[in-house]
């Protein structure tokens, strides 16, 4: 297996951005060491002293910083001979794939961040409309692709970018009962894609438990235990990551 001692990934189990990079590593068949960080404020790794954002990928002993999107692209370019390429070969096709990756972060990730804090009916309705519009656009892209995955016959860059959000999209649906991100009527192709993607052997076992994520996102009373405060810290760190991704 390629990679081996060269690659080391610092992350936290609940982060969709960390999940994206792990999905890319597994789909390309790259070996790596995974180090679980308990919170961005609880620095245990030297790399995090220089960069407070997760994930952090170390390649050949040198930290590689960037967004999850840029890290996936870097991995694909650095290990061209390992597994299937996540990005298409042609420059036009690569640009299109990058466009859809940015689209997902500019729409779904922003909506997920809003859904976390939405309280009023108007706020919830706005989030629902934003999510529905984004999913409708992605449904159209899946229809034009007319393949099992956005990457063609095998998962590619866009599949990894969207796939990393799947657990938290499920959390959003559970926290907003009126919302259904993957709908058999409005987004049947995306619903089928979700089933295919999650059924991949290299994906199984990587997805965090949705129930645990729901517990993580559940509001905590003012008078809470030290353990509960740690949960708040981790969730706050994840929200910082999402908000940071939105601003890029």
- Domain annotation covers residue 115: no
Structure-token match 């939405």, residue found: 118
The verdict on residue 158 lying in a domain is: no
Q: How many domains does the chain have?
A: 1
CATH number at residue 39: 3.40.30.10
- Residue 120 domain-assigned (yes or no): no
Label residue 60 left, alpha or beta by phi (over 0 means left) and psi (-120 to 50 means alpha): left
For the chain, 248 residues long, the average pLDDT of each consecutive 10-residue run is 72 91 95 80 45 76 88 93 89 96 91 71 80 93 95 95 94 78 93 96 92 76 47 51 45
Domain assignment present for residue 127? The answer is no
CA 170, 174, 179, 181: dihedral to nearest 10 degrees? 10
Tell me how far apart the alpha carbons of residues 102 and 134 are, in angstroms, rounded to a whole number. 12
Query: Does residue 94 contact residue 87 with C-beta atoms inside 8 Å?
Result: yes
Q: What is the pLDDT of residue 100?
A: 97
Looking at residue 239, what is its pLDDT?
53
CA distances from 153 to 25, 145, 159, 216 (A): 19, 10, 11, 35
Element counts in the chain: helices (H) and strands (E): 11, 4
User: Is residue 21 in a domain?
Assistant: yes
Q: Is residue 64 part of a domain?
A: yes
Q: Does 241 reside within a domain?
A: no
Q: How far is CA 220 from the centre of its chain?
A: 25
What is the distance between the alpha carbons of residues 209 and 159, in angstroms, rounded to a whole number? 20
CB atoms within 10 A of CB 141: 16
Domain-located, residue 27: yes
At residue 10, φ and ψ (nearest 5 deg) are -100, 130
Domain of 25 in residue numbering reads as 4-78
Burial of 226 (0-12, 13-18, 19+ CB in 10 A): exposed
Please tell me whether the overall predicted TM-score, pTM, comes out greater than 0.85 for this model: no
């Amino acid at each position: 297996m390629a990679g081996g001692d060269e690659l080391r990934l610092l992350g936290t189990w609940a982060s969709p951005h960390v999940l994206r990079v792990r999905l890319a590593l597994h789909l390309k068949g790259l070996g790596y060491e995974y180090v679980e960080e308990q919170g961005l404020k609880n620095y245990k790794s030297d790399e995090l002293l220089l960069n407070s954002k997760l994930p952090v990928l170390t390649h050949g002993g040198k930290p590689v910083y960037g967004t999850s999107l840029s890290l996936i692209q870097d991995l694909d370019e650095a290990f061209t001979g390992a597994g299937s390429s996540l990005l298409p070969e042609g420059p036009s096709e690569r640009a299109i794939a990058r466009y859809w990756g940015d689209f997902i972060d500019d729409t779904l990730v922003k909506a997920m961040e809003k859904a976390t804090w939405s309280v009023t009916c108007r706020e919830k309705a706005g989030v629902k409309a934003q999510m529905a519009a984004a999913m409708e656009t992605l449904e159209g892209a899946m229809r034009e692709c007319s393949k099992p995955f956005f990457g063609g016959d095998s998962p590619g860059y866009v599949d990894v970018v969207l796939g990393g959000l799947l657990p938290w999209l499920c959390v959003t649906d559970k926290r907003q009962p009126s919302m259904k991100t993957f709908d058999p009527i409005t987004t049947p192709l995306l619903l089928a894609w979700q089933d295919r993607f999650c059924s991949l052997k290299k994906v199984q076992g990587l997805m965090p438990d949705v129930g645990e994520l729901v517990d993580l996102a559940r509001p905590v009373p003012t008078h809470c235990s030290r353990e509960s405060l740690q949960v708040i810290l981790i969730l706050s760190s994840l929200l910082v990551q999402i908000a940071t991704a939105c601003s890029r």
